Structure formats: C-alpha cells, structure tokens
Structure 1
Amino acid sequence: MKKKMISGRFKIIISLTGGVILTIGITLLAVYHLWSFFIACLFLEGYLFRNIYIQYRRNIKKIAFMFDAIDNSDYSFKYATENISKDDYLVNESLNRITQILWQARNEAQQREKYYELIINSVDTGIIVVDAKGNIYQTNHEALHLLGLSIFTHTAQLLRIDKGLKNIIQNIKPGEKQQISFPNERGITHLSIRASATQLKGINVRILAINDINSELDENELDSWIKLTRVLTHEIMNAVTPITSLTETMLTKIGDKENDIRNGLNVIYKTGNGLIDFVENYRKFTHIPTPSPSLFYVKSFALRMKELMECQIPSPNISITIDVEPNDLIVFADENLITRVVLNLLKNAIQAIGAEQPNGMIWIRSYCDNKESVFIDISNNGPLIPIEEMEHIFVPFFTTKTDGSGIGLSLAKQIMRLSGGNIILRSDTDKHLTTFSLMFP
C-alpha cells in the first residue's frame, strides 16, 4: 500500500511539474514566434490539465457521496480497492478509512448515550428536560411514573392531570424549588420540583428534578400523630385512673341505704372504665411491636386470609377472588402484623360493599414489579371513596363510619412503615374499583 501511495503522489507531482514546464515552454515559443510548436504544446498542456480536472471532479464526487451517506447514517458502503488504478486506490482507501473512523466514533457516542440513559433511568428522581415552549426533550422512567404518563412530549399533556402541575413545569425558573399536590388514581400525590438551566444544541432548556415526597410527608405526619397520641393517652390515663380507683373504693364503703350515691358512683366508675378502654385502643397505635420479618409464601397467606373472612361475610352477594403471580411468590415481612393489616382491609371492603349491592367482588392480587418489589392489592367494587376523603383516609382518628374509631387504616399505615414498605390508596373510576396496595421493597 505504501508503494501505491508513493506511486500516486509521484504521478501527481509529475503531472503538475509537466504542466509548469509546458507553460514555460509555451511562453518561450511565443516569444520566438515558433507558432507550430506553440500550438502543439498548447494542446498538450490543455490535455494534461483536462485529465487533472477530470480526476479532481471524480474525487470530489466520491467525497460528496461519502458525506451524503454519513448524513443518512449509512456506514455500510465501501469504495473498491481492487482492480483499479493506483491513484484511485489511494483516494478510495483514504475515504474508506475516514468512513471507518466516523463509524467507530458514532458507535462510541451511542454507547455512551445508552450508558448515561441507563444511569438516568436507574435513579429514584424524575428527570425532565424542557424548553421555553414546553417541548420535552428527554424524560426518565421515574418522571413518567410520577406523572402517570407513558409518553411525554409537551407540557400541554399535563392539563389532563392537573392545571397547576402544568403551570409549574412550564414556568418554573432555574434555581427555584416548588411543591404541588394533586389527586390521581393512586390517591393524593405530593411532588417537589427543582429546576436548573443549560443549553442543548444552542437551545436554552431547563432540567427539572422531580421527587415524590408522599413518604416524607406521611412519615412526618405520622410521627406528629404518634407524639400527640402518646401525650393525650398519658394525660387522660393519669387523670381518669385515680378517679375510677377512688370510685371503686367508695363503692365498697357505702352501704345499701345510700342508693342515689351508689348509683352515681356506679355511673362514674363505668364511664371511667369505658374511657380507659377507649384510651387503651388508641395506645395500640403508638405501641406496635417491633416487626420480626421472615419469608412466607403469598399464595398460602392469601388463601388463609380468604378462609378467615368468608365466614364473616354477612350475605352471599360478596365473593373473594385470589390472583397471585407467580405462584411461588414470597415476601419478607412479619406475617402476624401483615395479617392484621390485610384482615382490616378485607373487613373494610366487606362493609363498603354492604349486603344490598349485587355481585359484590373483592380481589386479593399479588405480583412483583421490575424493581422486584412485592405488592399485595386488596380491591373491591363497592362505592368509591370521595376524593376529599382520600387525602385524610390514613390520618389517625379520621373515620366516615358512625361506629368507627379511625384507628384501623392509620394502624395499617404504621405497620407498613415499620415493615419498610408502604400502603397506597388508588381509585379507578373507569373500572369502579377501590384498591389498597401494600408495597414491600
């Protein structure tokens, strides 16, 4: 190859040198009026430069074709390097090398892009790249999950979710941090959005980092309720216990003749004991035993829950269906504590459907997602929970039942929190389903 390159260069040099010599010769012939030799040399020079021009045009076309192919991402073509002149070999081989170098650079860039995309899709923070017109340049999986979208190309799509969310993402300025809450099928979603600025291909864009702060807010709220409940139960118990104790003592000392006094003391005593029982129920919320997790099969667990609840269904209009995928799905948690949670959710589902609704259905469904988190969903087709109640459904002492204590769901939330998981309420208006989803990471 080196010899061919030298040969090609030598021919070019000879051609150019010959052209220069002919030009000098033609000039001298014209000076001495040797016109016949002058015309012959002029034709010879024209022929020589014509060949050089043809070669030049042919090589320019090859280069132009190469760039057109590269513009269309076609790196498969190759110029012939056999059975051609040495000059063509030199040009073709050089262009093939350039194409190969550009192809390798493109592959390396694509691999780096895939690597960075994999990293972005692995983080628990949603990433959105948006310009001033609302065009979306890039998103990661977490951002789509938080927004409840499968494809996100423009901020106008957010109008279907929440107008306030659309305005924040459209108008948030670099360096700002804002929070927003909005209802969706998963309940009330609380997002924190932070913006920074950069340029992408000469266009000013903002990079938005979106975080789900539901768990953070829930944890702070739960801690506050626990502290408040502990203080209240402590103070109430301190005040009521001496009263009931003193009343009991006075009842033993009063004779049968003081009936009015005895009856009054009995009322105080029974009311005090009732209040103590009431406070003891709320103590359960703040004194949950430390979980002792172990591995157990979800399928057999769900079958046991079904058997326990079927005998408590007041009428034959309600049926319970189990769907566990895969069949040997296991979860690492405290089975006794999770039993309390699931039984409470099944009891609530039975009460929600009631005895009058025909074809009442309760589903116990379990599965795992692509992050290998295990979910146990308890769904029912009873009346949907109003949106204004969904936000408060896990707040201690909040209840919509006339005889409810407001402890069951807040206790379930506390158990799932201590188990390292979470409980989420989802309402599907299309399928008319209410679902409480237990998540075990």
Structure 2
Amino acid sequence: MHIRSLKNQYLFRIAVSLLWAVVTGALWMSVWTNRGSSHICDILLFWAVVATLALFVLVYWQYGLYRAHTRKVLFLLEALENDDASVHFVETEANRDNRLVSQALNKVAQILYKVKSETAQQEKYYELILECVNTGILVLNDNGAVYQKNSEALRLLGMEVFTHVRQLERVDSHLMEVVTACCPGDKLQAVFSNERGTVNLSIRVSDIHVHQEHLRILALNDINNELDEKEVDSWIRLTRVLTHEIMNAVTPITSLSDTLLTLMNEADASDPSASQEEIRNGLQTISSTGKGLLSFVENYRRFTRIPTPEPSLFYVKAFLQRMVDLARHQHAEAHVVYQLEVVPDDLILYADESLVSQVVINLLKNAIQAIESGGCTGTEGRICLRAYCNEAEAVLIEISNNGPAIPADIAEHIFIPFFTTKEGGSGIGLSISRQIMRLSGGSITLLPKGETTFVLKFN
C-alpha cells in the first residue's frame, strides 16, 4: 500500500514538473513572439523569469528528494549484503514523501529478510537430509574443487577435510584419477585400502548447472557388504549341494563296509586265509576313508547351519575377559600376554553373545597359532583386545597379535570357505565368523597394514 502511494506521489510530481516546464516554455515563446511590444514583453518576461526560477526550484527539490531516497535504498542494499537485520528507517518524519519512502523500504527489507531466512532454513533442511542418507555425496566443479560434501562421503574416503580432488592422492592415486576423469552418466567402481580395511566404492555421476557453473554430483556407496553377501550365499548353496551329494554317496559305503568287516571277522574263526586278510585291509581302508569323509562333510555342514541370532545386551569388558580366560585355559602351554582395553569401561553391546563368542574364540585361537608358528617379534607373544564406540555409535572390537603378518596374496582369500594354509585345517573358521557377523548386522575385516588386526564392527 505504501509503495503504491509512493508511486502515485512520484507520478504526480513528475506530471506537475512537466506541466510547469511546458508553462515556462510557453511564456518564453510569448516573450519571443511579443518582443515588439515593450509593455506586454516586460510583463511576459517577468512571469517567464519567475516561472523559470520556480522550475529550477522544483527540479532542485525533486533532485534532493531523489538523492535522499537513493541514499536510503543504497543503505538498505548494503545492510542486506552484510546480513545486517537491524536496519530500520524512521517512519515519523514530517515530510510525507520521506515518511512513505521509509515505510516502503522497511516493508521491502522485511520481505527480503523473510525470504533470506526461509532460503537459509531450506539450505539447512537439505544439508540435514544429505547428512542423514547412507550414500556419500560429493559436488565438484570442473576445476576439481569440492562444492559440497556430506559426512558419509568423508567417512567412506577416510578424510576429515576435503576441499579438492587432489587431496585424494593421499588416499589412493587411482581413486583420484577415477574421480577427476568421471563424466555425467558414468557408473564406476574403485577399490582402495585405508586404515579401516578395503573399500569397494561404487560411483554414480550426474551433473547440474547452478549460477551458470557446471557441477558434477557423485553418489558414493561401499558395496563390500553386498558383494560379501552374494559371495557367502553362493558358497552356502554350493556347500549344501556338496554335502547332500557326498552324504548320499558315503553313508551306504560306510554301512556296507562295517557289515562286511563283521562277516569277515566271523569267518576268520573257522577259515582264515591271506585273501581274506587282503579283503579285510581293503574294507578297513574303505571304512576309515568313508568315516573321514563323513567327518569332513559334517565339519563343513556347520557353515550352513548357523542359528538365527538372538541378541541381548551384555557388557563388553566382562565378555572379553571371559574369552581371554577361556583361551588361557585351552592353550595353557602358549607363552602369550593378553592386553585388554575397553573404552568406556561400561561399554554395552547388543548382539547374540553365544555366536559372537564363537567369532572371538576363533580369532584368539588363530592368533595363538600364528604366534606359536615362530614369527613373534619379541621374547613372547602378545594379543591385544580393544573395544570402543566410534563417532557413528557403532561398537568395534579389535583383536591383534604380533605374530607373522598374513601375506597380501593370502589375505585376499582368508574369508573364502574351504581356503586354508594350515596343515589339517578345515578352512571354515573365518568363513563362519564372517557369516555370524553378517547375520548379526555387522562385519569382520582384516586391516591391511601393521600388526595382524581383525576388526569386528557391530552397527
């Protein structure tokens, strides 16, 4: 309403000024036309001079109002640019025009501040959404500068500060090349290792133009868990088929061998012979082989018979202390020092304690065997158990030992069912451990550097 009234005032003053300029021009034309008559010319000249002076006064007054109002507008714009919300023009001036301008500018400032506040709230809202999603988001310009990122992207890349793609060279040079060269529409994969283990990164690229600037949007996901689940499911299906077929074939052989041995023992009492002895030896071989094969199959059957976890709350420190005491008892002859650190002291875990104990016991047994293999770096072996809660409130349990490091070419296969480098080993301990962690909604990883360290993560 104030702006409309102010507009009408300006139009009225402009109309009056133009009318007065026309009148002044007409008077001077009259003076020029009647310059032959001195009396009329004098009168017209007087009024022409008066009209000219009045026109100058009117123009000067208009110009003064224009400058005063322009200063107010410029002051308001400068305040808006500096985020100064305290600016307010006095609306009680005696001059009605100034009062209307002040009222109009205050109204404009109020509207602009409201729009700016709503825009800031929307930006915070979108930033909050980005922080809540489980996908890492990176927005890069064509020069490689990071326009925007969320905490999940920083977590996946293992970085705290990320302002330019060149910083990725500290993480992995190949990853930097992939991110630098990616184009809109690309679907890429990049594998790299950091202190948390191996990350298999899926990258989807799209683009957008904002303020005439071209930006690339990268969606990052760690697909290790998805790959692990598919791999484990494939092995489970294969194992079930193998156990079914082998059990069907071996069971009758073993049963028949036992029956023949019984008959041969009964016949020996009346007519022993060398041929019978050979048959007996052959049947004993068949029987022992069949029983060994049955034991072999039964051992692997455990891989596909893990019960559904029944989680409950329990204290991590007391749990790990029980696991250490059990390991000491089972391997009393081992020269191993155990170090236990739990932060905080009353750390609580929600999981199936029985299943998790199988994982920890298996890792402790492997650690003791690694130390006893002769690669200990000190006079005695050392096993460290460390439990803590990370920034995402996930519980992590680290089990490390100072035995010989696992070679890189072997580390790639340690979680594959049936794979083992130990003589007489079954090769399912770590496979079952990973399956238990997957069913518990967590993960197990081997850190790529330093001492042999396995990390159990419970989300």
Both structures adopt the same fold (TM-score exceeding 0.5): yes
* Separation in 2, partners of 1:89, 1:386: 83
Q: Which has the larger radius of gyration?
A: 2
Pick aligned residue for 2:427 from 397, 402, 406: 406
Q: Secondary structure at the match of 1:300?
A: helix
Q: Superposed, which structure 2 residues align to 1:254-273 within 5 Å?
A: 254=265, 255=268, 258=274, 259-273=277-291
Of 223-232 and 109-118, the range deviating more from structure 2: 223-232
The residue correspondences of 1:68-83 to structure 2 (distance < 5 A) are 68-82=78-92
Contact 1:30/1:38 (<8 A) preserved: no
- Superposition pairs of residues 161-200 of structure 1, within 5 angstroms: 161-200=171-210
CA 1:92–1:383 in 2, change beyond 3 Å: closer, same or farther?
farther
The aligned counterpart of 1:277 is 295
Q: Which runs of 5+ in 1 are unaligned?
A: none
* Counterpart Cα distance in 2 of 1:401 and 1:388: 15
Give distance in 2, aligned partners of 1:180 and 1:313.
Answer: 45
2:6–2:101 Cα contact (<8 Å) kept: no
Aligned residue number for residue 110 of structure 1: 120
1:424 pairs with 2:445: yes
Report the aligned-residue RMSD: 3.1
Say if 2:100 is the partner of 1:90.
yes
Q: Which 5+ residue runs of structure 2 have no aligned equivalent?
A: 32-40
Map of 1:135 onto structure 2: 145
SS at 1:133's partner residue? coil
Distance 1:163 1:437 in 2: 25
Alignment partner, residue 346 of structure 2: 327
360-369 or 140-149, larger mean C-alpha shift = 360-369
Match of 1:231, SS? helix
Question: Structure 2-normalised TM-score?
Answer: 0.83
1:197 touches 1:204 (CA, 8 Å); kept in 2? yes
Once the two structures are superposed, residues 228-273 of structure 1 have per-residue CA deviations (whole angstroms, 9 ceiling, x without a partner) of 2222233333333333333333333143654555445434433332
Tell me how far 1:149 sits from its aligned partner.
Answer: 1.9
Q: Is the 8 A contact 1:319 1:362 kept in 2?
A: yes
Shift of residue 361 of structure 1?
Answer: 4.1
Partner in structure 2 of residue 339 of structure 1 = 357
Indicate yes or no: 2:238 matched with 1:218.
no
* Aligned partner of residue 89 in structure 1, secondary structure: helix
CA shift for structure 1 position 381: 4.4
How many residues get paired?
A: 436
CA contact (8 A) 1:15 1:48 kept: no
Is 1:363 the equivalent of 2:384?
A: yes
Worse-matched range after superposition: 335-344 or 273-282: 273-282
Amino acid corresponding to residue 378 of structure 1 in structure 2: I
Judge conservation of contact 2:142–2:214 (CA < 8 Å) in 1: yes
Query: Against the structure 1 CA distance between its residues 423 and 21, is the aligned structure 2 distance closer, same or farther, given a 3 Å change threshold?
Result: same
**Residues 141 and 182 of structure 1, relative CA distance in 2, 3 Å threshold:** same
Displacement of 1:180: 2.9
Q: Compare 306-315 and 91-100 and name the one that shifted more.
A: 306-315
* 2:67 counterpart of 1:57: yes
Q: Report the Cα offset of residue 116 of structure 1.
A: 1.2
Return 334-343 or 24-33, whichever deviates more: 24-33
Letter in 1 for 2:377: Q
Taking a change above 3 Å as real, the CA distance of residues 418 and 425 of structure 1, as seen in their structure-2 partners, is same
Alignment counterpart, residue 416 of structure 2, candidates 395, 406, 426? 395
Q: Is the 8 A contact 2:324 2:338 kept in 1?
A: no
| Distance (whole Å) between structure 1 residues aligned to residue 178 and residue 5 of structure 2 | 67
Q: 1:149 to 1:16 in 2, by over 3 A?
A: same
Say whether residues 1:304 and 2:330 are aligned partners: no
